[in-house]
Amino acid sequence: MADDNNASDFADDETGGAPAKKGGARNGFVGLLKWILIAVAAIIVIVTVVFITIGLTKKNGNSGTENFSVASEYTSKREALDWYTSLDQINTNTDEENPATIRIQVNLGYKKDDKAASTEITSRRVEITDTLRRFFSEQTANDLKPQNEEILRQNIKDLLNDTILSDSRIRDVRFTQLDVTRQY
């Protein structure tokens, strides 16, 4: 009996023992068409959600880029400079009751390819070094803290442009070394 049941599972009276196939090609096409329609519907839903989200953010005044803003000093094109790096290292003390020792190396930036500036800075190198030594000896250790460097650079630039240089201008001042050592 068990053999009769197994035989009837695999046999079909009309096909002579072969399994029955009902609309094979047609069922495959319908299944494929079903999956294509599901994919198209999903794409339509995703695109709709994206457009609604973009529309709402623009309506609220948020373009999505405010969180990634960069300061204009980093995005604006900075002028390319030539650098005078041959000034002597300056060693002096601060102007305090308990003075700190200062060791500093200053570089001067001037307009690119400005031969007159290069020549004038070179010819006035001793005066510039002496002026810088005096300038730093009039400072306190607090004046020379890293958070004050921008003020120091601006003051040095103004000092040298106003008192020493006549035919050219220094555009920027940078420190390659600025050591302040307190003596206790």
| 8 A C-beta contact, residue 82 and residue 112 | yes
For residue range 141-150, what is the model confidence (pLDDT) as tens digits? 999 999 999 9
> According to the model, what pLDDT value does residue 10 have?
47
pLDDT band at 21, cuts 50/70/90? low
Average pLDDT for residues 7-31, to the nearest whole number? 60
Coil vs helix vs strand at 164: coil
Can you give the three-state secondary structure of 12-48, one letter per residue?
CCCCCCCCCCCCHHHHHHHHHHHHHHHHHHHHHHHHH
Q: Number of C-alpha atoms within 13 angstroms, CB side, residue 111?
A: 8
The structure's pTM equals 0.57
